[in-house]
Amino acid sequence: MAGQETPPESDASTAAGKASCRPSRRGWVYAGPAVGLMVGLFAGLADSGVLAQNVRDLITPRLLLENASFTLITYSTCGVVVCTAACVVGALAGRFRQRLRSRLEPRPLALAGFLALVPVLLVWIALRRSGLTPPRGLAAVAGSSVVWVIALVPLAWVCLRLGRTVIGRCLAPAPRIAVWPALVLLIASIGVQWQGRSRIQSPDGFWPIANAESSERPNDRPPDVVFIVMDTLRVDRLGCYGYPRPTSPHLDAFADDAVLFRWAISQSPWTVPSHACMFTGLYLSQYGLRSGWLDDRFVTLAEALRDRGYQTMALSNNRIVAPCVNLTQGFEQFAEPVGVLYPKCSLAYGLMRYALYGDRSFGPLLGKWLAYDAGGRTTAPIAARWLGARDRSRPFLLFCNYMETHGPYEPPSTYRRQFVQGADLDRSYRIDQSRSAGWLFSLAGEPIYSPRDLKILSDLYDARVRELDDYFADLMRVLAAEVDLDQTLVIVVSDHGENLGDHGMLGHQFSVHNTLLHVPLLIRWPRALRPTRVTRVVQTFDLFPTILDWTGARADPSTEILARSLATALQPTTQSVQRCAFSEYLHYPESQLRAVQQLVPGFDPSRWEATYQTVFDGQWKLIMRSSKHLELYDLLADPGETFDQGASQPKTTVRLLTQLKQWQQSYERYDPSQSSTPLDPRLDEERRQRLHELGYVQ
Ligand SMILES: [Zn+2]
């Protein structure tokens, strides 16, 4: 290494420090790695320092150590590669041009190369985030190359001049001295990453979890509430709902001790309206979602519980379950764990994120060692920190949204290896999971994915479910340490499912099939509920009155709540009335259709320009498309919704259509003109940006 650097070979170059000296061949060889290692480590420390400052209220020492080791490795690797490349270029240039040979020095040149890399990476990552496609993508690459040249020339000049000054000569031995401590730091960072790498947890001993705080709570104190949304989790991929693969051992153990709702139906097949329904007890048509924004005038679950005296905290890993959609009204505190360990602003994160998953040739190589997380890994430590600091004299509402099962499906390699067959592993890194590929496949029927590809995507999804299951176990262990679990209401639900090639589609737009609307729902509250399985149809927005009911909180009396407390569904059959479930899909992403139109000549978007309303009575499901076209499915005989029985079952069609019409007339529709709050343009832009990141808009 640089520490073993020998005097220059050429006699003419032994006058060290003189401007005319010629660096030795070995000097060129060692300068790149040595300088790259050190500037990389400095940059990594700076990046971690910025992180620690930005999220100082959330981060724990363990998370900071993980982040610092990640950034140190990433930057120093980049530094070594770039600085070495700069030295190679410099040495070759010196070989062919006599004038350059006497002027170029390896260390300043290596430093200039690294500094030039920073603006290039910033531009590149910004371009990848903005989702540019050819020919704009080509122009963007050309633009970033120009930035590279513009940045390199003055930086190289400054560095070369510095090398000829007194300061430069004083600093010259620094790489030789510092390279060994830097190497030690790098090896320690690799050790931290190795120790903290993802491992599949054994469910042995997970349940029952002992309570750390066996309670001396007064009986009249309302329960603490933990509301967990597992975003995009399909009900049929959980063991407790009959899935044969070992995707959910921890959730299965939890379900054995909870109330399991066999037929829970979401009120909408995608995130924002589904969450808004659960948070308000209203149907989508009732609150309207004006411009993607939940109107302030509707009282949310968090607001009702806050008024009841609860501390309210939301930990959201979904970028659009956030203030920019106004879904977080009523939460006194809000945090996004997904941005804590690897913040969006981090250059190291952006680099790895796009090198690993943006470039399919890098994927198999890097994926074995590195993975970024969707926030689940970070959620439990942040929850622990918040629970530890909370006011114990007050009950709390803790809301958590987990995003592991949301696309793209990128599990760490340990989970990937368990669920993807060995012969498919390499291919699993190369499958195009970009948004545009998904749209082209789903909307235009382009043959992008073979049956084998769809099987691999399904396997990757299962691996993500298993990973999520481990993060759920982490959270339950935190809860067991911090609260009395027997007196805590723990709810696990999904906002919607996911199409994984079902009905020729990927994702969760442009469809109201039960792959999206039928979701898992588990409730555990030992003080009041006995473990059981409920087969009646329930709706996820019923959670709103249910939680209010069990906590003694009150809804806004001026709003007509059509949801009903699940306490009713738990009563003996004779005392409860079978209810139908209604769902709506009213806002399709037009920009996706426009994007496909640009890519596929002759594509007709009219087939997809539709709204949907559905009614399900426990057996039959009627889908009404744009208030005209009807489809009828027998979900007990045909759970895949493959055979429309509208023609053979006219009576059932009429019965359900009547129920649908009666339901439509049973509530007052949202009138945007009555809204009291103007839309904030900044939040509007932020919402658009976040929707874009998740692939909902272009
Ligand atoms: Zn969602």
CA 281 to centroid of ligand 1, rounded, Å: 17
CA 376 to centroid of ligand 1, rounded, Å: 15
The pLDDT of residue 213 is 52
Domain boundaries, the chain: 2-195, 224-340+375-579
CA 132 to centroid of ligand 1, rounded, Å: 24
Residue 408 preceded by cis peptide, ω within 30 = yes
Q: Which of 13-17, 19-23, 355-359, 607-611 has the lowest mean pLDDT?
A: 13-17
CA 509 to centroid of ligand 1, rounded, Å: 11
The pLDDT of residue 17 is 43
CA 201 to centroid of ligand 1, rounded, Å: 25
The pLDDT of residue 44 is 86
CA 526 to centroid of ligand 1, rounded, Å: 29
Cα 370 from Cα 376, distance rounded (Å): 16
The pLDDT of residue 309 is 95
CA 579 to centroid of ligand 1, rounded, Å: 25
Helices (H), 391-487: 413-419, 422-430, 435-444, 451-482
Cα 694 from Cα 698, distance rounded (Å): 10
CA 335 to centroid of ligand 1, rounded, Å: 17
CA 112 to centroid of ligand 1, rounded, Å: 45
CA 128 to centroid of ligand 1, rounded, Å: 23
CA 512 to centroid of ligand 1, rounded, Å: 14
pLDDT digits (tens, 9 = 90+) for 626-642: 988 999 999 999 999 99
The pLDDT of residue 668 is 85
CA 641 to centroid of ligand 1, rounded, Å: 22
**Confidence at 537, pLDDT banded by 50, 70, 90:** very high
pLDDT digits (tens, 9 = 90+) for 114-129: 877 776 676 666 666 6
Among residues 688, 609, 619, 611, which one has the least CA distance to residue 649?
Answer: 619
CA 644 to centroid of ligand 1, rounded, Å: 27
Average pLDDT over residues 97-119: 74
CA 540 to centroid of ligand 1, rounded, Å: 13
Residue 189 has pLDDT above 60, yes or no: yes
| Beta pairing partners, 584 | 613
CA 274 to centroid of ligand 1, rounded, Å: 8
The pairing of beta strand 224-230 with beta strand 488-493: parallel
Q: Which of 341-350, 413-422, 447-456, 480-489 has the lowest mean pLDDT?
A: 341-350
Q: Which of 22-31, 231-240, 409-418, 503-512 has the lowest mean pLDDT?
A: 22-31
Cα 497 from Cα 270, distance rounded (Å): 8
CA 558 to centroid of ligand 1, rounded, Å: 29
**Confidence at 171, pLDDT banded by 50, 70, 90:** low
CA 401 to centroid of ligand 1, rounded, Å: 9
Residue 389 has pLDDT above 80, yes or no: yes
CA 277 to centroid of ligand 1, rounded, Å: 12
Residue 171, SS3 per DSSP: helix
Q: Give the single-character DSSP code of 287.
A: H
Q: Which of 134-148, 421-435, 461-475, 683-697 has the lowest mean pLDDT?
A: 134-148
Residue 368 has pLDDT above 70, yes or no: no
Residues 372 and 413 sit within 8 Å (Cβ to Cβ): no
CA 517 to centroid of ligand 1, rounded, Å: 11
CA 272 to centroid of ligand 1, rounded, Å: 7
Residue 50 has pLDDT above 50, yes or no: yes
- Top mean-pLDDT range of 29-33, 353-357, 517-521, 587-591: 517-521
pTM of the prediction?
0.86
CA 697 to centroid of ligand 1, rounded, Å: 14
CA 392 to centroid of ligand 1, rounded, Å: 32
Q: Which of the pair, 311 or 432, is modelled with greater confidence?
A: 311
Average pLDDT over residues 306-322: 94
CA 495 to centroid of ligand 1, rounded, Å: 5
The pLDDT of residue 40 is 85
CA 506 to centroid of ligand 1, rounded, Å: 14
**Confidence at 2, pLDDT banded by 50, 70, 90:** very low
Average pLDDT over residues 422-433: 88
Average pLDDT over residues 303-329: 93
Q: Which helix (H) or strand (E) holds 519?
A: strand 518-519
Residue in this structure with the two tokens 């109107």, named with its chain if needed:
295
CA 273 to centroid of ligand 1, rounded, Å: 9
Instruction: Tell me the fold of 224-340+375-579.
Output: Alkaline Phosphatase, subunit A (3.40.720)
Residue 604, SS3 per DSSP: coil
Among residues 271, 283, 301, which one has the least CA distance to residue 402?
Answer: 271
CA 157 to centroid of ligand 1, rounded, Å: 51
CA 232 to centroid of ligand 1, rounded, Å: 5
**Confidence at 31, pLDDT banded by 50, 70, 90:** confident
* φ/ψ of residue 426, rounded to 5: -60, -45
Q: Which of the pair, 341 or 457, is modelled with greater confidence?
A: 457
The pLDDT of residue 344 is 64
Cα 360 from Cα 354, distance rounded (Å): 10
Q: Which of the pair, 528 or 126, is modelled with greater confidence?
A: 528
Residue 397 has pLDDT above 50, yes or no: yes
The pLDDT of residue 124 is 67
CA 320 to centroid of ligand 1, rounded, Å: 9
CA 244 to centroid of ligand 1, rounded, Å: 24
CA 270 to centroid of ligand 1, rounded, Å: 5
The fraction of the chain above a pLDDT of 70, given in percent, is 79
Average pLDDT over residues 431-445: 88
| Beta pairing partners, 397 | 225, 312
Residues 494 and 233 sit within 8 Å (Cβ to Cβ): yes
Residue 1 has pLDDT above 50, yes or no: no
CA 231 to centroid of ligand 1, rounded, Å: 5
**Confidence at 77, pLDDT banded by 50, 70, 90:** confident
Amino acid residing at 182: A
Average pLDDT over residues 228-254: 97
Q: Give the single-character DSSP code of 448.
A: -
Ion ligand 1 contact residues with beta carbon within 5 A: 231, 271, 495
CA 344 to centroid of ligand 1, rounded, Å: 20
Q: What is the mean pLDDT of the chain?
A: 84
CA 402 to centroid of ligand 1, rounded, Å: 9
- Top mean-pLDDT range of 5-14, 159-168, 215-224, 611-620: 611-620
Average pLDDT over residues 516-524: 97
Residues 76 and 48 sit within 8 Å (Cβ to Cβ): no
Average pLDDT over residues 215-228: 83
Q: Taken in order 178, 181, 186, 192, is the CA torsion positive or negative?
A: negative
